[in-house]
Structure 1
Amino acid sequence: MTDPYYQDDRVTLYHGDCLEITAWLDADVLVTDPPYGIDYQSGRDRDELAASIAGDKDTTSRDTALTAWGARPALVFGTWRIPRPERTHTRLIWDTKGALGMGDLSVPWKPSDQEIYVLGKGFAGRRDSNVLTCPPIQATAKNGRLHPHQKPVDLLWRLIDKCPPGVIGVELDERYCEVIASRLAQGALDFGSTS
């Protein structure tokens, strides 16, 4: 078994591939932003952020992890361009307020949303709209983005707030583990009380 990269009384973080590290299977809910299976390649000049995503040639990584997870509660970021995960029963829309990439330049619309799929049962809290409006983190490292597909804390907080407690993270790239561990150690991400 791999030792945690970071751990406190609320959060445990592992460095590695979630298909090899299985400790995350002990969590009560899965919140994941897996490779979508779209072979993402950024056309932007990037100084520090990766231009592609490991395992994004197809949905094998996503589907293998979800099979291991089973029918338990999960929130899975994704895209309409590929089939939704099996057992998806609800679709949430992250409205990015018009602030995503360029998209298909041959049409007069640009993307301004992402999908989040809800699987399993056990979510609770006030009944809200399935459209979550939240601006994304700015597109470049010099504007504050620390991960190529970083999600805003406000969005994740709104999702996690309706989930069962207990957070276990797995990150493939060690440089992002360092960022996550630093933010957690500073209390920058508040996951609530342990009671």
Structure 2
Amino acid sequence: MAEPRAQQVFKNRKAAHLYLLSESIQVGQTKFYDDCGRYNLVQPDKSILLADLLAYVRAEHKQGPAGPGRDLGAEDRQRKIDELDLREKELKVEKLEREKRNEDRKWVERDKVYQREGALVATLMNELRYQIKKVSPLVVSACHGEPERSIEVANLMERSVFDAFQAIYERGEISADFEEENDE
């Protein structure tokens, strides 16, 4: 129901009744005049306050967007509760979607994992080959062909593997070119 712009007080019952009719609230003049007495709408100066008229409409006619026989206040509260419930559910869905996207970012595609593993293995193999070739003259001279000196050989080999891992770590990246090797 639209409120009159400059008028918070209706001059008399007739003005209030005309306002109700302009708002599509169907009430007969006789009934309205009787209700004015029953609901004490008329002020001592014979005017009717807009607030009293609106309360009368809600109580007696219960008309408006909600239709007859309904409690407008309760319906407004229920509508607000429903809107808040809907908004809460939308926020939960958005949160779940964000979590799913974050979870998806944690996974790496299988092909990429295989490529990275292959690169790691190839890099390790290349570095181990290099370190073993570098240390092999030391291994031969350390053993002097004597099997009792196998502990020295093992220590040298372990040291070469450690050096390989250390070199990879210091470079800070793993990269490899896959090429077939000829073992001749």
Question: Shorter-chain-normalised TM-score: which range?
Answer: under 0.3
Q: Which has the higher contact order (CA 8 A, sep 6+)?
A: 1
Report which of the two structures shows the higher radius of gyration computed on alpha carbons. Answer: 2
Q: TM-score, with normalisation over the residues of structure 2? A: 0.21
User: By percentage of residues, which structure has more helix?
Assistant: 2
User: By percentage of residues, which structure has more strand?
Assistant: 1
Q: TM-score, with normalisation over the residues of structure 1? A: 0.20
